[in-house]
Amino acid sequence: MKKKQQIIFVLSSLFILWGCTEKPVQTTFTNPVIYADVPDMDVIRVGSDFYMVSTTMHLMPGVPIMKSKDLVNWEIISYVVPEIKDSPAYDLDGGNVYGQGQWASSLRYHNGKFYVFFATNRPLKTYIYSAANPSGKWDKVMELDERYHDTSLFFDDDGRVYTAGGGAVIRLREMKSDLSGAKEDGLDVEVINGPERNLDGLLEGTHLCKYRGKYYMFLIWWPAGGIRTQLAFRSDNIEGPYEHKVILSDDMDRKGAGVAQGCIIDTEDGKWYGFLFQDRGAVGRVPVLTPCRWEDGWPVLGDEEGKVPLVMEMPVSGQKATPLVISDGFDASELALNWQWNHNPDNDLWSLTERKGYMRLRTGKVVQTLFEARNMLSQRTEGPACRGIVSLDVSHMRNGDIAGLSAYCSEPGIISVNMEAGRKHIIMTDRSEEKERAELTRDVVYLRLDCDFNSGADKANFYYSLNNKDWTRLGTEFQMVYNLKHFMGNRFGIFNYATQAQGGYVDVDFFDYTRIR
């Protein structure tokens, strides 16, 4: 059966089933609220809508904006930057920005406009972008040749604007009213000194807000011998002095992995929540939603025992679930927002129109490793387990070309089609070591990657098929890792690169995704 006929058959069947069954309303959710790599979140509410920004580092487009009606189901609606051109390293030209690029961002809404404040670690710069419509185009407001680390943007009631951020020592700076930089005669003061308060270790991730006349700063603290812990600081004056309190110290269901770093947010009907994240192995840093209650003017997170519940009632009911990771038949004229490229893409080397219903990936400059190659297309993996299948037409590969599917992190597992001396082989590679190969004599092949994050297993297995039904496992079980070299969770990576001469290409028919709960 042809691909399009299969799709029509499946959609028709789903339509019939939909008409015969009533979809239940989601009344509870399970933490982590997003079981995928969405770190360094900042969340705001505008009316009944919630908006979130997070970190994507070296992936482009970058600085993703997500929207939700219930704090549980999130949809990507835009990216602040389609690419970053401040260094050739973003084009994988003479270097790279793995684990660098855009870091923790601050999202705000003020006088009818949305603002995003973020810094890059290579080069050391800081930016403010704004948009009247967060799902549309974002415009650059400010660019500074200085890095404001983990900084929160804050618009006060009196019209003054501030930033607060840093590491170990938190500094408050007043900004010009047009946001073009720090105000020359404005407030510039150290408001929190970790070592002086016996808060040694990690102290960063500032979120600044105001509630009932008091100023609150939220920071992550990692005490020696302890777990990542969430602190709140409060003061009657923005410049201090600030007193502080531990408002959450809990590792939920993963021993030693403290839930921390994030913000608090309220619903239209006055309920409060904490939106933080947890390190969860190779799947990445995952958002966690926890109850928040006010006690003596402090926002206290967790249940009555200070624990993050695994199962909670929905903050708001009625929103349709929106998948964060999707299947794709590449039939649209534009690439879905769920996809991101490894570094800036070379837009001359990929196409959705050269062969209708396919993503064409052409090889560019000659390289020797996956991480030097332009145009690796990627999506997140999700826990507890998930599966991705890619269909490749490899009939136009050239000698030295390597195309396939990867568990994409700093130490990759790969299943690929390699063209060598006019012959093709399917090869499974663990990091840089070939584990097994099988000769390929067909033009179309299906490659599969299964990821298992249950109980911290972080295992991946690779398979191939000639008919998308009968599967053969290839190579060995792959141990996925998470480290600071890439500083993100493992992703599905679809790639094609040349090691001898450019000019070859592959056509990606579809990516079929399944989340296994």
Pair (248, 361) in one structural domain: no
Nearest to 48 by CA among 360, 288, 265: 265
pLDDT tens-digit map of 412-458: 999 999 999 999 999 999 999 999 999 999 999 999 999 999 999 99
Specify if 11 maps to a domain: no
Pair (309, 360) in one structural domain: no
pLDDT at res. 22? 54
Pair (309, 345) in one structural domain: no
Specify if 8 maps to a domain: no
Q: Is the pLDDT of residue 138 over 80?
A: yes
Average pLDDT along the chain? 95
Q: Are 39 and 295 in contact (CB under 8 A)?
A: no
- What's the per-residue H, E or C state across 386-400? EEEEEEEECCCCCCC
Pair (298, 437) in one structural domain: no
pLDDT tens-digit map of 3-50: 544 553 444 444 334 444 455 778 999 999 999 999 999 999 999 999
106/101 Cα distance (integer angstroms): 15
Query: Distances from the Cα of 360 to the Cαs of 36, 65, 187, 423, 479, in angstroms?
Result: 27, 27, 53, 21, 30
Using a cut of 0.85, tell me whether the model's pTM lies above it.
Answer: yes
Pair (291, 354) in one structural domain: no
pLDDT tens-digit map of 68-89: 999 999 999 999 999 999 999 9
Specify if 12 maps to a domain: no
Tokens 């549309």 belong to 136
Q: Are 194 and 158 in contact (CB under 8 A)?
A: no
Pair (299, 419) in one structural domain: no
pLDDT at res. 14? 45
CATH code at 66? 2.115.10.20
Pair (356, 237) in one structural domain: no
Tell me how far apart the terminal alpha carbons of the chain are, to the nearest angstrom.
Answer: 30
Q: How confident is the model at residue 479 (pLDDT cuts 50, 70, 90)?
A: very high
Pair (215, 137) in one structural domain: yes
Pair (298, 354) in one structural domain: no
Pair (285, 385) in one structural domain: no
**What average pLDDT does the segment 135-160 reach?**
97
Query: Distances from the Cα of 202 to the Cαs of 149, 169, 276, 298, 303, in angstroms?
Result: 13, 10, 16, 22, 25
Q: Domain end: 313, 328, 350, which one?
A: 313
Pair (409, 275) in one structural domain: no
Specify if 382 maps to a domain: yes
Percent of residues, the chain, with pLDDT higher than 70: 96
Q: How confident is the model at residue 2 (pLDDT cuts 50, 70, 90)?
A: very low
Percent of residues, the chain, with pLDDT higher than 90: 93
Task: Give how many domains the chain has, as a whole number.
Answer: 2
Which domain range does residue 156 map to?
A: 27-313
Specify if 330 maps to a domain: no
Token pair, residue 314, equals: 């929905």
pLDDT tens-digit map of 251-265: 999 999 999 999 999
Specify if 247 maps to a domain: yes
Pair (292, 371) in one structural domain: no
Nearest to 29 by CA among 70, 90, 85: 70
pLDDT at res. 491? 98
pLDDT at res. 6? 53
CA-CA-CA-CA dihedral for 359, 461, 343, 403, to nearest 10: -50
pLDDT tens-digit map of 352-394: 999 999 999 999 999 999 999 999 999 999 999 999 999 999 9
Nearest to 195 by CA among 170, 228, 163, 232: 170
Specify if 478 maps to a domain: yes
Token pair, residue 417, equals: 């089609």
pLDDT at res. 238? 98
Specify if 331 maps to a domain: no
